[in-house]
Amino acid sequence: MTTGTLEKPSASPTASVPSQPPATAERASAAKGKIILVGFDLGTNKSCLLAGPVGSTDITVSKVVPSVIGYVKDGIVDGIIAGNRSVLFGDDALHSALHVRLVAPLAQGIVAEPAAARDFMQHIGSLADPTGQAEIRAVVGVPANAGETAREDIRRAAQGIFDRILLIPEPFLAALGFRDDARIAQPNYIDPVVNSLFIDIGGGTSDLCLVQGCFPTRNDQISIAFAGDAIDELMQAELDRTYPNNGLSRQKVREIKEAHGYVGPSRKPLDVKVIMGGKAHTLELGDVIGRACNTLIDKIYPALTTLIERAGSDSVVTLMQNIVVTGGGSLLKGIDTLLQKKLTDDGYETPKVRLAGQDYKRYVAIGALKAARAARENQWQVLL
Amino acid sequence: MAELFAREAERVADARAVAEILLPLLHESLPSEVARAGLIRPSRPVLSDAVTLRRPAAAAPGIADFIDQMIEQETATPAAAGP
């Protein structure tokens, strides 16, 4: 599959571009109706879609969709599945888990099931443009330092669904999304795009990125194939060892993690009620949860200090004040204080680690939509 | 002559020091019209080190410029073939 870029951009960066789309976008829109801009966080477990018409700040579509497809099993009686559909997506698929074959199109942040990925993209396209008549231009988040194969797989999945595409690393998009554009001019506002370190802990990968006023190089980014899913796997393995035949599904284990996950010292006892074999049981899971979640810290802390040491000496003091944890991993209780304490104990100067907050699911997509609105005509890749 | 210049330079420096002390006081006591005429320039606030550190030396470029930088990087060093 080939893509085309309309023309090579100019070598030197220019001043910021006005938000109004250039005239060529309007001529293109006349050929295929309107143009819809999409900011898309294609996550291993959850994807976030934001969409809006070009030339407007309106967001007409805002959805978080579990990244899962349910192919209805043979022999399911009519009327069991709403609309007698043969394929379900996201929450619909999960709610009909008994009657479908669940397929996750992504693993560790990259396409693992190409056919399913294409079906999923089709669904996303229909959410962004129910009419099917608009030209869709999508900025899609990819893991930091994603290889060319991973990028090409996403382009293939989006071919014929998105008309134009830009693939941008997720932690950088998170910084763009986290940035409060209304406060940039305020003298005391710390612009996260100017000097910060973002830690985006998702389902498949944990991505760290230095963002220091320019697009991060490969050296400014580290991607670790250990994140939410890996924690679930560790928890399930230890549950199976401690409570054999527990029958708990991976989805149930994930729910336990999302409700009770923590890092740092043991929070034993941590009693969790589960249904096993139809009966309620209370399991003490303090150490099971703590050990699994703390493994994440063992993986990301060295990457964090590596990036800090790569930052310039003139910028590192301010950088230490702007470490942000986002993604689903930001929900792990104590992750901000633990990382900050570890840095302090290791002698780093006044580190400050903060959480992205309740909008953590949307920051990558918000940053992607901002990028879609700002992208110049010649920057888009045309999916042929 | 050199001695004369040195003496005068010292006198100017002393006068400047006195003026810097007196100017804020004069600004407060003179009528506002005088201040607005630009005859008196108020002293600049001194920024604390903390504020200086927080204020970036230069604002970030625009998002389109970031994308330009990304494309230049991709063109110069294509992503590794693997995932």
Verify whether the Cβ–Cβ distance B79 to A214 is below 8 Å: no
pLDDT for A26 equals 44
Q: How far is B52 from chain A (nearest CA, A)?
A: 10
**Does residue B59 belong to any structural domain of this protein?**
no
Domain membership of residue B83 (yes or no) is no
Residue range A26-70, pLDDT digits in tens: 444 445 679 999 999 999 999 999 999 999 999 999 999 999 999
The phi, psi pair for A270, rounded to 5°, reads -130, 95
| E strand or H helix that includes residue B7 | helix B2-29
Pairwise CA distance, residues A220 & A197, whole Å: 9
Global ipTM: 0.84
Cβ–Cβ gap B67/A148 under 8 Å: no
Put simply, whether B45 touches A (Cβ < 8 Å) is no
CA atoms in the 13 A half-sphere facing the CB of A68:
19
Residues of B in contact with A14 (CB under 8 A): 62, 65
Of B53, B58, B67, the CB nearest to A379: B67
Find the CB nearest A148 among B51, B69, B78: B78
Buried-exposed string A87-103: b where 16+ CB fall within 10 A, e elsewhere: bbbbebbeebeebbebb
Q: Which pLDDT band holds residue B30 (cuts at 50, 70, 90)?
A: low
- B31 occurs within a structural domain: yes
Q: Which residues of chain A have pLDDT under 70?
A: 1-32
Query: B26 lies in which domain range?
Result: 1-44
Confidence at residue A184, expressed as pLDDT on a 0 to 100 scale: 87
Would the CB atoms of B68 and A15 count as touching at under 8 Å? no
Q: What is the CA radius of gyration of chain B?
A: 27
Among the partner-chain residues A147, A218, A374, the one whose CB lies closest to the CB of B62 is A374
Residue of B nearest to A177 (CA): B63
Contacts of A172 in chain B (CB under 8 A): 66
Q: In degrees to the nearest 10, what's the CA dihedral of A83, A87, A93, A95?
A: 30
Q: Do B81 and A5 touch (CB under 8 A)?
A: no
CB nearest to B64's CB, from A17, A217, A321: A17
Count of structural domains, chain B: 1
Q: Which long-range contacts (CB under 8 A, 24 or more apart) does A87-95 make?
A: A87/A119, A89/A65, A89/A119, A89/A120, A89/A123, A90/A65, A90/A66, A90/A123, A91/A65, A91/A66, A93/A66, A93/A68, A93/A69, A94/A66, A94/A68, A94/A70, A94/A251
Chains A, B: CB pairs < 8 Å = 102
Give pTM, 2 decimals. 0.79
What's the rounded Cα separation, in Å, for the pair A359 and A202?
A: 14
| Tokens (6 digits) for A144 | 């930091």
Residues in A 174-233 with any Cβ partner in B closer than 8 A: 176, 184, 187-188, 190-191, 193-195, 213-215, 217-218
Q: Which residues contact A159 (CB under 8 A, 6 or more apart)?
A: A1, A383, A384
Q: Write down the pLDDT at residue B54.
A: 35
How open is the CA angle A310-B52-B39, to the nearest 5 degrees? 150
Residue B38 has pLDDT above 50, yes or no: no
The DSSP secondary structure of B14-48, one letter per residue, reads HHHHHHHHHHHHHHHHS-HHHHHTTSS-PPPPPPP
Q: To which residue do tokens 């870029």 refer?
A: A5
Give me the pLDDT at residue A3, please: 55
B83 three-state secondary structure = coil
Q: For position A233, what pLDDT does the model report?
A: 96
- Confidence at B10, pLDDT banded by 50, 70, 90: confident
Q: Which residue of B has its CA nearest to A216?
A: B70
What are B39-69's pLDDT values in tens digits? 444 343 333 333 333 334 456 689 999 999 9
Q: Please report the pLDDT score of residue A224 as a whole number.
A: 95
Contact A263, A293 (CB under 8 A): yes
Supply the pLDDT for residue A27. Answer: 41
Burial of B15 (0-12, 13-18, 19+ CB in 10 A): exposed
**A4 close contact with B: CB closer than 8 A:** no
DSSP code at position B63: H
Q: Give yes or no for A107 touching B (CB within 8 A).
A: no
